[in-house]
Structure 1
């Protein structure tokens, strides 16, 4: 495992967040099925990547120095 990726592209991280959220919902009396959980992980991974792209573009536009 030598590749480095931003945290928001980690399916493991989003899976853990969804699992914690599912547990909290379970305690509140709501139940997410496995298919719903997997779809939510996929959605959050894609959303995290999109947000990261927007942040990167914004950072480049507002940067004070040129890339050299």
Structure 2
């Protein structure tokens, strides 16, 4: 099954934002329309995706800078001992 992280899900962010919007409306703090909620969900998903890409690139750069051994090109590891 093809899966994705929860924070990349528009549905999950839609639920979170709907709950927050409902709470804010109940408290009389803000009136958020469905269109504004939809735009906010899209913004959060885009920001989360962008941040995950940046973090991934940083991990690659830092990992390569800290590495002190090259990566092996052996796809199948050799077994130790003799047969």
TM-score (norm 2): 0.68
Alignment correspondent of 1:25: 24
How many residues end up aligned between the 2 structures? 67
Alpha-carbon distance between aligned partners in 2 of 1:15 and 1:28, rounded to the nearest angstrom: 20
Alignment correspondent of 2:44: 44
Moved over 4 A (4+): 65-68
Quick check: which one's helix share is greater? Answer: 1
Alignment correspondent of 2:54: 54
Alpha-carbon distance between aligned partners in 2 of 1:9 and 1:45, rounded to the nearest angstrom: 6
Flag structure 1 segments of 5+ consecutive residues without an equivalent.
Answer: none
Give the deviation of 1:67 after TM superposition: 5.9
TM-score (norm 1): 0.80
Please state whether the residue corresponding to 1:3 is helix, strand or coil: coil
Flag structure 2 segments of 5+ consecutive residues without an equivalent.
Answer: 73-83
